[in-house]
Amino acid sequence: MIKILVKFIGRPYNATNKRHVWIYFDSHDEVTLRDLLNKIEVEIGVRFDVGKEGIIALINGRNAHYMGGLNANLKDLDEVIIASVAGGG
């Protein structure tokens, strides 16, 4: 079994009304960010278009864009943050 901690920040939090969830995969097969987003949609009912409208996914802090995007591999106990971002300074 693979379990992933998913945190929702900003608009994703407002969309789900959840701060975090654990998402479980009943296999040791390869799990990708796409699989995770699909499962979130099934279990929570919200679809996130990562990479659009300011929605990003960080896998252990690293922007998924640099890890293969939706094809980025996830492993057991990874932490994925789905967030809307804006500038700081």
Partner 1 sequence: MRLYGYAGKILRINLSKKSYAVEPLKDSLIKHFIGGRGFGIKILWDELPANIDPLSPENKIVVSVGPLTGTKVQSASRWVAQFKSPLTGIYCRSVGGGYFGAELKFAGYDAIIVEGKAEKPTYIWIHDDNVEFRDASKVWGLTTLFTRDIILDETDKRAKMIMIGPAGERLVKISAIVTDDWRTAGRGGGGAVMGSKGLKAIVVRGSKRPEIYDDQTLSDAVNEQIKAYREWPAVPPADFRRLGTNTGTYVWYFMGNFPTYNFQQREWDGIERFRPEILESYIIGHKGCYACAMQCGKIFKITNGPYGGIAWDFPELETEWSFGGIVGVNNIEAITYANMLCDLYGLDTISTGVAIAFAVELCEKSIIDKTETDGLELNWGKPEIVVELVRRIALRIGNLGNLLAEGVRRAAEIIGRGSERYAMHIKGLEMPAYDPRAMKGQGLGLVTGTIGASHAISWNKFEILGVPKKADPLAIEGKAELTKYVQDEMAVCETAVFCKLIVNHDVVNPVFYSRVLYSATGIEEFKDPKYLWKVGERIWNLERLFNVREGIDGKYDILPERFLKEPHPRNPAKGQIFELEPLLKDYYRVRGWDEQGIPTKEKLAELEIP
Enumerate binding residues for partner 1 (CB under 8 A).
Answer: 9-11, 13-14, 19, 52-54, 56, 58, 60-63, 65-66, 81, 83-89
For partner 1, which is the closer residue by CB, 34 or 65?
A: 65
Q: Which amino acid is at 3?
A: K
* Partners of 2 in the β-ladder: 25
Which residue type is seen at 2?
I
Angstrom CA distances, 44 to 21, 28, 56, 67, 88, stand at 9, 23, 18, 25, 30
Contact 75, 2 (CB under 8 A): yes
Minimum distance of partner 1 from residue 54's CB (angstroms): 5
Q: Which is nearer to partner 1, 45 or 61 (CB)?
A: 61
Q: How far is the CB of 55 from partner 1 (least distance, A)?
A: 9
Q: How far is the CB of 16 from partner 1 (least distance, A)?
A: 12
